[in-house]
Amino acid sequence: MANPHRYYEIRCPIHGFISLNDWEWEVISQPAFQRLRRIRQLAWTDYVYPGAMHTRFEHSLGVMHTATLLYDAIRTSSENVLTSELAYNDAGLKRDRQLVRFAALLHDVGHAPFSHASEDLMPDQGNGKRYAHEDYSVAVIRNELRKAIEEHPLNGNYGFHAEDIAALIEGSARAKQSVFWRDLISGQMDADRMDYLLRDSYHAGVQYGRFDLHRLISTIRAIPGAEGHPPRLGIIEGGVHAAEALVLARYFMFTQVYFHKTRVAYDVHLRGAMKELLPNGHFPRPIDGELAQFLLWDDWKVLGLLSDGKGGEHGSRIATRNHYRRIFHTPEVSVEKDLDQLQTVREKLGKLLVAEEPASKSWYKTGMPDIPVVNDIDEKTVRPLSEHSNVVANLKANNQVFLYTKPEDVPKAKKIVGEVMEHARSA
Amino acid sequence: MPDLREARLALIPVLAENSSYGYIGRTALMKYMYFLQTLRGLPLGYRFTLYSYGPFDSDVLADLGSAETLNAIDSEAVMYPGGYGYQIKPGNKAKWLKDRAAAFLDKHKSDVKWVADKFGSLTSPQLELVSTIIYVDREAAQMKEKLKLADLSNRVHEVKPHFTGAQIFSFAEGLAKDKLLQSVR
């Protein structure tokens, strides 16, 4: 048997070297994880930013690395909160460090081809709600990765069940006190967001997603729970501008990359093409007997089918770069009159309107940041980031809406939109 | 705006109006949406998952942001010793937004009132606790488990150790009496 105490290092363009233990290496080596090499992080964003060809594989490694930096920083700075309010001891903290690493590594293992772009084609659960990629991630962990997680010799030190990792990712009570760490996997200042902003920015060749990661890490804290609340993650005052930059990076990346008009058009085409390619128009479910079928779907398979001329009109538009054109959009901060005008344009365009994409539907949409900041002098005084940052306080949610028409209909649609706008001006 | 989204946004000022304080906090907003969807079956499409502060979906905060952008609500941070909270009140475009979702709001008027009557007097830590009890209960029910009240309370205690076992049991007992739990035998 290979040495179970061996360490490995993988080069990462964002973080330098990422270290893994033999256990993690074993998990990464499983086909279900290797599949992430064939799932692009940002779908067809390369049609706008040609460098954005990176995959969920490198992002997953980056999230594990970032989550570990955050975990270690919190343990160093806030061990008293963890021990007094969550009853951690050394063994518990060592265990949960590994748990967080696995959860961060595997949180995206259930992504569909081209990541979020095709998530709309995940089937209904039978209760009116669609499955999401997290449902597939936990199913993969409980099934395809279970043996690699539970049977590695290093697990003799931890006694993990695959279920422990799945419970933390999906937000189950089975995660027990470890649920505290969910904020590192999916929260305001999670490792996922920190990694994807930096990584997507790097590969797209833009600067919008950059912020001072290491300053943020050095200022993160577990803040004691006040008045019956549990402890939560926040920062000390020294991290205010790093946190502000994180919030702004998210905003800029949304407007410049994730919600770029052409990128959004290709999401529409991908959904349309996938509907044609998938049996019954949706992915297999994350259940016994169907999960393995789901995992056969990756970017390579979809690209092969598109290359064979399949995928209908939308597949053909992707292949020939003949995408829908944005014909109208509301402002980034739309108010009543903008939505009224949108409704008029919508009605006047009639059948020329082929897609409507609101920012609110995007997985990357920006919310209302609420990052607690601890006072440097009096640790019991905690205020929100918006009280420290005028920029954050005045940031409004982007509720923009894009309307699309076929390229061949642009002249007709442009004329109609022009008339509506002229009427609005004269009124 | 798609109908569902419009309905979700319009619910925010309505929940604030139904509060006896004339405003609600962010915790109350999150948990009321959870109660409306889970206990009253409103088809809101949120995907709540468990955090140490109870069931949470970032889409609720995204909706809050959108409602504020539309001036349908006003939200203000309020400081108090050792912490802070938010006061969310109807804004000057609340009526406009409510009119757009009038059919939905009318249909679920009694549900909103039920939530306000039932949970309106709870503090935010109590709302976190009660919603966590319901979350843990629904998770057990989904697994077809039948639990004793004490077992359910113990599970909740593992997630929320800053509450005493007796506090958790007392709230769980109240919910069971109101027949709001599904896994308790």
Give the whole-angstrom CA distance, residue A366 versus residue B26.
17
Block residue for tokens 């969310």: B88
Q: Which region holds residue A284: left if phi is over 0, alpha if psi is between -120 and 50, else beta?
A: beta
pTM (2 d.p.) = 0.96
Has the ipTM of the complex gone over 0.90? yes
- Tell me the mean pLDDT in the region B90-96: 96
**Alpha carbon of B34 to those of A3, A84, B55: distances in Å?**
49, 30, 7
Residue at A48 is within a domain? yes
Q: What is the per-residue pLDDT for A364?
A: 78
Select from A260, A399, A425 the least CA-distant residue to A335: A399
Q: Is residue A72 part of a domain?
A: yes
Token pair belonging to A367: 């919310």
Q: How confident is the model at residue B142 (pLDDT cuts 50, 70, 90)?
A: very high
Task: Identify the pLDDT of residue A298.
Answer: 98
The mean pLDDT of B75-100, rounded to a whole number, is 92
The 10s digit of each residue's pLDDT in A48-91 is 999 999 999 999 999 999 999 999 999 999 999 999 999 899 99
Q: What is the pLDDT of residue A425?
A: 85
Q: Tokens 């570990």 appear where?
A: A68
- Residue A64 included in any domain: yes
Nearest to A128 among B43, B50, B84 (CB): B43
DSSP per position, B123-156: -HHHHHHHHHHHHHHHHHHHTT--B-HHHHHHHH
Range of the domain at A21: 1-109+145-259
Question: What average pLDDT does the structure give for chain B?
Answer: 94
Q: Which residues of B touch A180 (CB under 8 A)?
A: 52
What pLDDT, on the 0 to 100 scale, is given for residue B1?
Answer: 45
Q: Which residues of chain A neighbour B155 with C-beta distances below 8 Å?
A: 173
Residue A51, φ and ψ in degrees, nearest 5: -75, -15
B100 beta partners = none
Q: Which residues of A touch B87 (CB under 8 A)?
A: none
Instruction: Choose the closest CB to A230 out of B43, B52, B65.
Output: B52
Question: How far is residue A348's CA from residue A352's CA, in Å, rounded to a whole number?
Answer: 9
Q: Tell me the residue length of chain A.
A: 427
Inform me whether the C-beta atom of residue A86 falls under 8 Å from chain B C-beta atoms: yes
Do strands A220-223 and A355-358 pair parallel, antiparallel, or not at all (unpaired)? unpaired
Q: How far is CA A254 from CA A64, A196, B111, in A?
A: 23, 12, 36
- Domain-embedded: residue A323: no
CB contact under 8 A, A187 and B47: no
Picking from A227, A232, A360, the nearest residue to B5 by CB comes out as: A360
The fold adopted by the segment(s) B1-119 is Arc Repressor Mutant, subunit A (1.10.10)
pLDDT digits (tens, 9 = 90+) for B57-81: 999 999 999 999 999 999 999 988 7
User: What whole-number percentage of chain B has pLDDT above 90?
Assistant: 90
**Can you tell me the distance from the alpha carbon of A121 to that of A297, in angstroms, rounded to the nearest whole number?**
12
Q: Which residues of chain A have pLDDT under 70?
A: 1
- From start to end of A272-354, where are the E strands? 325-329
pLDDT score recorded for residue A1: 57
B128 interaction partners in chain A (CB closer than 8 Å):
229-230
CATH of the domain at A228: 1.10.3210.10
A249 belongs to a structural domain: yes
Which whole number is the average pLDDT over B24-46?
A: 96
Q: How many domains does chain A have?
A: 1
Closest Cα to residue B136, out of B165, B156, B161, B158?
B156
